[in-house]
Amino acid sequence: MREVRKGRGAASNRSGRYERHRHEAFDDGWGTIDEEPAPLGTEVRPDASRTVIARNASPDLGFDRSINVYRGCEHGCVYCYARPTHAFLGLSPGQDFESRIFAKHDAPAQLERELARPGYTCRMIAMGTNTDPYQPTERRLALTRGVLEVLERCEHPVGIVTKSALVVRDADILSRMARRRLATVSLSVTTLDRDLARTMEPRASTPAKRLEAMKALGAAGVPVGVMVAPIVPGLTDHEMEGILEAAHAAGAGRAGYVLLRLPREVRELFLEWLSVHAPNRAGRVVSLLQGMRDGALNDPHFDSRMTGKGPYAALLAARFARATQRLGLARRGPGLDTERFRPPSRDPAQLALL
């Protein structure tokens, strides 16, 4: 059943795939099924994970480790490929994902312990790869800032991707790290249409605020990029050049893009969103996606899952290459320095020699 709520991206809260029972609303004759659902508040719960650095061996990612201090994301982006992970917690990938947030309150301390382990090899740590490190809850908890403070002390490089202008709050740390080639930031921009963004990613910063954040970070000396992500064919793909031009004008020096991905429950959630907010575009979006995914709506395979296949995918790639070449936007960011890394002392009482 649809439960469209103001300020939430998903239009329903269907049970996760591991639940023994599925719940559906039905009309009991009292008419309550047609009433507007009550506002859905956000609840933050502790995440008791024993590690904070996640590892991956994906050949189509530019990093092998990442940190996500939050599970779930209040931004509510309906297309978020991380939504299915909430099913592992016995919760819905729908509205639970954006209203039941798990926070790793000890993330800074845990990170310090992991960096101090013998044999740790320094490589860039990515933040914002699963859920946004600067989602609204961060304003109060400041866990991302705590992690950055640890990374700065240890001179450990970090790359951040976010949809939030809140990243500017940490410009002081990021600018100091950037001067030592230890930090880069990319702002993800899906659309420049404020109204479309409000329904598709309801609690993320507006597109204009993200562009302002690029300017502010650039003025602070932080290397800034733009991710045109995700590209929704038939809905936002016509904006690619406009987004790149706006980001370039805001000081972005590099760019990337990702085609819409619809793994597991995200598929039905996104189709449901289309039927509510863009019913006249739904057929076109589905047709184009299937043309780039071998007839399916999702492709989990390395190399093709980020960009798609077929003539339309090739056209998107060619448009992106031409626009970035014209604007002078590099595909890769500046190299980060891994030689400066200084592991924290495993004994807090031990003084450093230098």
CATH number of the domain at 49, please.
3.80.30.30
Identify whether 125 is part of a domain.
yes
pLDDT at 351: 52
pLDDT at 93: 94
Identify whether 208 is part of a domain.
yes
Regions of the chain short of the pLDDT cut 50: 354
Q: Give tens-digit pLDDT for 189-231.
A: 999 999 999 999 999 999 999 999 999 999 999 999 999 999 9
Find how far residue 121's CA is from the centre of its chain: 26
Identify whether 217 is part of a domain.
yes
Identify whether 335 is part of a domain.
no
pLDDT at 125: 97
Identify whether 323 is part of a domain.
yes
Beta strands in the chain (DSSP E): 43-46, 53-55, 65-67, 70-71, 100-103, 125-127, 158-162, 183-188, 224-231, 254-259
Identify whether 311 is part of a domain.
yes
- Asked if 201 and 9 touch (Cβ cutoff 8 Å), the reply is yes
pLDDT at 20: 64
Q: How many domains does the chain have?
A: 1
Helix axis angle, 207-219 relative to 240-249, nearest 10°?
A: 30
Identify whether 110 is part of a domain.
yes
Left, alpha or beta for 243 (phi > 0: left; psi -120 to 50: alpha)? Answer: alpha
Structural domain of 279: 44-327
Identify whether 38 is part of a domain.
no
- Omega within 30 of 0 (cis) for the link into 230: yes
Burial 103-142 (b: 16+ CB within 10 A, else e): bbbbbbebbbebbeeeeeebebbbbbbbbbbbbbbbeebb
CA 13, 19, 24 angle in degrees (round to 5)?
A: 45
pLDDT at 57: 82
pLDDT at 312: 97
